[in-house]
Structure 1
């Protein structure tokens, strides 16, 4: 099955040029596009947020995706290589008109698939390395990293409330009601009572 994929970034652009190119390309080769996928969305959006993601989810081995050029698949090389690597691994053919690529099941395609996968892995490693270096630099500059202390736990809400807890308990309120009044979970209240030796007997 042959799919024609068209993407434009803004409403001001037109899909007609890309469709015309794909139709002419197929006409010259006696090919018939069985389904068209058209979308107006930025190529920087994640694949699964685009119609392209749905297309990749339903294409099968031997199917062909034809687009005007590789840049229609994504805005950066990492994204494009990830998409092409997925297609090569699943034996889905990707043909681009302007670039002249016909990625399929031949040896050249398999070599390219390896190159795409390797390049994507290198890019991921570079991103990871750059992130680690940036964090190390911030740490060296004295910037506090991660969640501010005390924000991860709600125990800080109970600090200094020992007397209030005892008074509410003496009024006959259950721990669940006390926790609700103090805006904490009952388990948090129980742990706080135990850790601070609060006598509710």
Structure 2
């Protein structure tokens, strides 16, 4: 089977350009596309949730995938490497029309796969090195690493304000507004209320005889 694979990351993009490029390549090389796979989805989505992930599971030796560029396959270099390795192991060929790659169980593909793997390793090492250097520089400048002494999280900001929150709730002030008044996110407030069993209690007042009346 020969598959034409097209992916766009949003519905604002068009599949037409990719379809034209793959179709042109197929005509020039007298290749017949047996099945087109099109999807509008970000490559950051889990592979198993994409049509392409399902395609990988059913590929057979001798199958061919034609796409415009390798970046259409995965979200990063490591994922693309994994896909290429899967295809090479299962004797599936991947062809890209823009980059002119023809990756299968051949020496060129293995050399390219090695180069990709080496690049990924170098990239990881560079990121790690930059992180270590940045931390060392901050430390050398006498700055404390981690949360500054006296700094508080948003949840800690609410500590001791249970009665105040109850009062706002009794006045029927919305939780969104209470969160803004207290300078925290609404989800932080909701979590704090849940953990401290804070609920909107009835407002209590007194009548002329001094009797308590719940409203």
Shorter-chain TM range is 0.5 to 0.7
Structure with more relative contact order (C-alpha pairs < 8 Å, separation 6 or more): 1
Q: Distance in 2 between matches of 1:131 and 1:59?
A: 40
Structure 1 residues 35-114: aligned runs within 5 Å: 35-43=35-43, 45-48=44-47, 49-114=49-114
1:47 and 1:110 mapped to 2: Cα distance? 26
Pair 1:101–1:143, CA change in 2 (3 A): same
Task: Write the deviation string for residues 139-166 of structure 1: whole angstroms up to 9, x where unpaired.
Answer: xx9999xxxxxxxxxxxxxxxxxxxxxx
Contact 2:103/2:109, CA 8 A, preserved across alignment: yes
Aligned residues: 151
Any gaps of 5 or more consecutive residues in structure 2? 135-142, 147-215
Provide the C-alpha distance between the structure 1 equivalents of 2:125 and 2:76, rounded to a whole number of angstroms. Answer: 16
> Could you tell me which residue of structure 1 aligns to residue 22 of structure 2?
22
Match of 1:8 in 2: 8
Q: Show structure 1 runs of 5+ residues with no match.
A: 135-140, 145-201
Measure the CA separation in 1 of the matches of 2:132 and 2:87: 31
- Using the size of structure 1 for normalisation, the TM-score is 0.58
Q: Structure 1's 91 and 113: CA in aligned 2 closer, same or farther, altered over 3 A?
A: farther
In 2, are the aligned partners of 1:6 and 1:15 still within 8 Å (CA)?
A: yes
